[in-house]
Homo-oligomer: A and B are copies of this chain.
């Protein structure tokens, strides 16, 4: 019979841990002095303890180990649990690899450019919403504000003319890529609460949801175009694929105080 300290030295498991396992009923002391409360272990309990450690090493929780050790598990069940654990380990492995890739990307990013406007990209899932939208062609880049503004006005007018109600926030969809500066294909989109009749210019449909890579800019409106390259780099670095038109969400926009405007750019992405 060994005192807990001896058993701890023998097994290389801390005393605290042995007591914890005893409390959980994993490795119950072979004998407990009913007067002093001292735990006494037998060397014959070593195999069980090592089995516990081996299972812990494989990634099982103490609760699962308790079931395996106490309710003598069959061979086939153990195989099933191991395969499940393998799947879990694969997921964690992939997570770690992705994290590594993100860190690497960030480090490369820092080394490439000394100035770090460095927008932070988040992955988010967005629900589908009902919208009214007006799609337009913009021949030259300097006409974007005027033409897009007119498209929004047109859409808002249409909504009100049919007794609809617009929701916040409005957004622009870009069907041409960010490096297109002539003949751009854009869409002024306004979320609405319920269905409306369409017109020749203003369409009503459900804007698809899904997974989006998103980044937010706060401050002068003109600068936020840097968001697009930042997002594209992130998508590239994290091996996603662009799965549709990008969105510029005008979370807060006040033409009189442009330094307070907040814009979110979203790219729909798929793994791959």
Show the binding face of A for B, using Cβ within 8 Å.
10, 12, 43-44, 46-47, 50-51, 53-55, 57-59, 75, 78-79, 82-83, 85-86, 89-90, 92-93, 96-97, 99-100, 102-104, 106-107, 110, 114, 116, 119-122, 124-125, 214-218, 251-252, 260, 262, 264
* Contact indicator B120/A251 (Cβ below 8 Å): no
Known: A59-B103, A83-B107. 13 other contacts (CB 8 A): A43-B218, A44-B252, A44-B262, A47-B119, A50-B215, A54-B120, A55-B120, A58-B102, A59-B99, A75-B110, A85-B103, A86-B104, A90-B100
CA distance A41 to B233 in the complex (A): 30
Compute how far the CA of A46 lies from the CA of B215 in the bound complex, rounded to whole angstroms.
9
Asked whether, in the complex, the Cβ of B218 is within 8 Å of the Cβ of A46, the reply is yes
CA distance A121 to B47 in the complex (A): 9
Q: For A47, list chain B residues within 8 Å (CB).
A: 119-120, 216-218
- Do residues B116 and A89 form an inter-chain contact, with CB atoms below 8 A? no
Is the pair A79, B122 in contact by a Cβ cutoff of 8 Å? no
Q: Closest Cβ of chain B: how far from A48's Cβ, in Å?
A: 9
Q: Which residue of B lies closest to A110 (CB)?
A: B79
The answer, among B12, B102, B116, for a CB contact under 8 Å with A57, is B102
The complex places the Cα of A90 from the Cα of B216 at a distance, in Å, of 30
Contact B120 A51 (CB under 8 A): yes
Given A75-B110, A79-B107: A46 and B264 within 8 A (CB)? yes
Contact B58 A103 (CB under 8 A): yes
Contact of A103 among B82, B100, B216 (CB under 8 A): B82
A102 to B124, CA, bound (A): 35
Residues of B within 8 A of A124 (CB): 12
- Chain B residues with Cβ under 8 A from A216's Cβ? 46-47, 50
| Nearest B residue to A125, CB-CB | B12
Selected contact of A46 from candidates B12, B46, B96, B251, CB within 8 Å: B251
Please, how many angstroms separate the alpha-carbon atoms of A3 and B217 in the complex? Answer: 21
Q: In the bound complex, do residue A89 and residue B99 qualify as a contact, i.e. CB atoms below 8 Å apart?
A: yes
Q: Is the CB of A75 within 8 A of B114?
A: yes
- In whole angstroms, what is the CA distance A120 to B49 when docked? 9
Q: Are B46's CB and A262's CB within 8 A?
A: yes
Jot down 17 A-B pairs with beta carbons below 8 A, ordered by A.
A12-B122, A12-B125, A43-B252, A46-B264, A47-B216, A47-B217, A50-B119, A50-B215, A55-B120, A59-B103, A75-B110, A78-B110, A82-B107, A82-B110, A83-B107, A93-B93, A96-B96
Report how far A55 CA is from B120 CA in the complex, Å: 9
